[in-house]
Structure 1
């Protein structure tokens, strides 16, 4: 990841419409999916801690762990979830400090190393799930939507929903939810990518994440309102046919 990107993401997670919308969706979805009253939870690639804090607040886990390759990210995560068991590790070959996990979540992590490199680690994580436990993956969709943010965080792969479903089924898990996200706003996402699509082989430029350019507060509020409408549809059971992200939930039986 480019220097300073973790600090930028940590600030953006607090207020940017994209992060707020995802957090609000997970806050409603996870309590429905996780069966244990005091679950044991591991965030595989916890980044700067937004999901850790969310899980702590909505699930009240008996165990909350998280790992990341970045010491900078872990320092930011500790400030948000000081009670969590946080340590440096890699999703491709993870150290797993707890057994009988009820939830393993990984949000926009596997696309950095790519599915092939991450698969051995995912196998180990699935093995440590308790029966009835769930794995939640959230990943960027469609290779042709590769963005400046992907460059800044060194993302190597984007996915289709079918690819994510096949990945989870290959771990021996039963897929319960598989849908695209950001469907309602997809035309705007595509428009924002047009400059990059127009210069696929153009000259190299300094890498600058999309997050450096925060939208105007009114624009941010309008985008969040659209995302909240989409969240309501997803929580009602809708399966969206396209979007810029893939959300998948699979259970160990």
Structure 2
């Protein structure tokens, strides 16, 4: 990503509604499908917000980010072991992780999805859990995607097929951020359609941040009760390494 985006992430990811909603869904996925006992890797850990949240699991944690400064920030924020590295060529031995999370990484222009998924499978132990978050729909590509170097967005069906082709089993692919999708379309395609528009990561007025988070929280509760959304701004995937 652009260096400025790491600064925005570092400042916002503890409080901003989007990060809190995303991290909550990752935690839900690992609660449902924890995989075997052992270490959890966050591949593409950024500045460490998710690693800090994952500490609540009481499991050993490791993080990797392409940017060395971001990896250092992640260690300072979470206390996890972190390193700089490439998702296409993970610097870890085979089968050393019980679970692996990776949020909005396969979409980056420097990442080859098939290569990264092969690496994720390689470093997971048999029975290990993979949790991914991906941005949805190529037509939602915006100035923010350019700033964070996203070159691709996905559909739930296409992303699930990628995981199965990479050898993962019990693949779940579910849209989320469905309630707010119309607002995303308005913001990205109308209000900030200019190529020079600023990042989506920014401080929100407290009332607005609380309202947006409440919408995602209500959606999360309904999802736990079994409701599945046919569309959404993001896709959460959970799979098992056989």
Identify whether the pair has TM-score above 0.5, normalized to the shorter chain. yes
- Distance, in Å, in 2 between the alignment partners of 1:138 and 1:198 is 24
- Number of the residue aligned with 2:82: 86
Match of 2:88, SS state, is coil
4+ runs of 1 displaced by more than 4 Å?
Answer: 196-199
1:209 aligned partner: 199
Secondary structure in 1 matching 2:127: strand
Alignment gaps of 5+ in structure 2 = none
Aligned CA-pair RMSD:
2.0
Instruction: Map residues 14-33 of structure 1 onto 2, 5 A cutoff.
Output: 14-33=14-33
**1:18-71 Cα shifts (integer Å, max 9, x gaps):** 1111122222331221143x42211111111111112221x211x321111102
Q: What does 1:87-236 align with in structure 2 at a 5 Å threshold?
A: 87-97=83-93, 99-113=95-109, 117-195=112-190, 205=196, 208-212=198-202, 214-236=203-225
Quote the residue 1:6 is aligned against: 6
> Secondary structure of the residue that 2:14 maps to in structure 1?
helix
Q: Deviations over 1:134-162 (max 9, x none)?
A: 11110000011112221111111111111
Residue number in structure 2 paired with 1:240: 229
Task: Normalising by structure 2, report the TM-score.
Answer: 0.92
How many angstroms does 1:166 deviate by?
0.8
Other-structure match for 1:41: 40
Q: Which runs of 5+ in 1 are unaligned?
A: none
